[in-house]
Amino acid sequence: MSDFDPFRPFLTNWAHSSGVTTRELAGPAYRQLFRGVHIHASVPDTLVVRCRAAILRAPAKGLLSHDTAAQLWVPSWPRSSDVNLAYSRDVRSMGDGLRCHRFTYPMERWTRHGLPVTGPAQTFIHLAVRLDLVDLVCFGDRLVARGAISPEELVQATLAWQGHGRRASIAAARLVRERSESVPETQSRLLMVLAGISEPTCNHPYLVGGIERYRLDLAWPEFKVALEYDGRWHDKPEQRAKDEIRRKEMRDAGWIIIVIRAEHLYDDPAGVVRDVSDALRSRGCVVSTSLNYQR
């Protein structure tokens, strides 16, 4: 049968039509992805494979959506245990690792990896119903970093939206920025903004002779204050040595460089706000903070 390829998701009846028995399907050569959908056991269990299998199992004309669409747009986004599909019509619930969302409005069909998916703005709006402000902005920043949408386009899409999640999606979209290179950078920036500190510049270029020499994660260049987040890879001896050289050069040039790690950002955000506030005040910046950030 032309539809049968054991290395792509296939239906049980496709296998039977090609001579594969029920006993063989239940054996070690194959793996069941969803009820009635199988694949050769040697094929890795990836999101794309599961999405292809879900489309075979689920009602027709669905779009991969919500957390599933989020990871298709942003591969580093946390993987959902279910495959989510959205429909502009009433469909029956599936279960079995498939979650169907029913809406009354039409949704534009986009494509990722050859799969039908909700667009970046629609995915962002769908997630606004479930995610808190910080997580939603983190997702928006990652969409922008991957070139899926611009901050301006995202704001316009949320302003035009009249459905559920409108207010939350608008609030988050207005905080999405370009040049944010990681989730901790976004979280650090939002910690400052939600605490009442003036918004820092993302990945501010440090120029020497008009040439970019370094980039600072978050900076208040007019006050020569910067906040940098060091992830695990900064623990490597070579990287640590480079960081020390770079930061000494900048401190010698008059910059205050505040370095934080995961334990500071997540366990003591008030301490981070205090350190940044003190540094800015020391440079003549008027700061009035009220920590309004919870993780």
Q: Measured between alpha carbons, how far is 212 from 136 in angstroms, rounded to an integer?
A: 31
The predicted-structure confidence for 70-79, as pLDDT tens digits, reads as follows 999 999 999 8
- Rounded average pLDDT over 80-102: 90
**Whether pLDDT at 148 is above 60:** yes
Check residue 292 and give its pLDDT.
54
As for how many domains the chain has, the answer is 1
Domain that holds residue 194: 183-282
- Examine residue 101 and state whether it is found in any structural domain, yes or no: no
CATH code assigned at 276: 3.40.960.10
Mean pLDDT of 211-218: 89
Residue 103 placed within a domain: no
pLDDT given at position 290: 63
For residue 233, is pLDDT > 80? Answer: no
CA 71 to chain centre: 7
Q: Between residues 7 and 237, which one has the greater pLDDT?
A: 7
Give percent helix, percent strand, percent coil of the chain, each to the nearest 5. Answer: 40, 20, 40
Taken in order 191, 192, 196, 198, the sign of the CA dihedral is: negative
CB 190 within 8 A of CB 202: no
Q: Is it the case that residue 1 has pLDDT exceeding 80?
A: no
How much is the pLDDT for 288? 81
Tell which residue, 130, 128, 129, has the closest CA to residue 143.
128
pLDDT exceeds cutoff 50 at 2: yes
pLDDT of residue 165: 94
Q: Which residues of 13-39 are buried (b: 16+ CB within 10 A; e: fewer)?
A: ebbeeeebeeeebeeeebeebbeebbb
Q: Within a domain: residue 68?
A: no
pLDDT > 90? residue 32: yes
Q: What is residue 92's predicted lDDT score, i.e. its pLDDT?
A: 83
Q: Please tell me the pTM assigned to this model.
A: 0.90
In a domain? residue 107: no
Q: Spell out a b/e string for 61-89, using b for 16 or more CB atoms within 10 Å of the CB, else e.
A: ebbbbbbbbbbbbbeebeebebbbbbbee
Q: Is 287 exposed, middle or buried (0-12, 13-18, 19+ CB in 10 A)?
A: middle
Q: What is the mean pLDDT of the chain?
A: 93
**Looking at the predicted structure, is the pLDDT value of residue 91 above 60?**
yes
Per-residue confidence (pLDDT) for residue 113, from 0 to 100: 94
**Taking residues 248-265, what's their average pLDDT?**
95
Q: Would you say 239 and 259 are in contact if contact means Cβ atoms under 8 Å apart? A: no
pLDDT-above-70 percentage for the chain? 97
**Nearest in space to 260 (alpha carbons), one of 182, 204, 184:** 184
Say whether pLDDT at 80 is over 80.
yes
Q: For residue 273, tell me if it sits in a domain.
A: yes
Q: Give the residue-averaged pLDDT of 25-43.
A: 96
Is the confidence at residue 149, as pLDDT, over 80?
A: yes
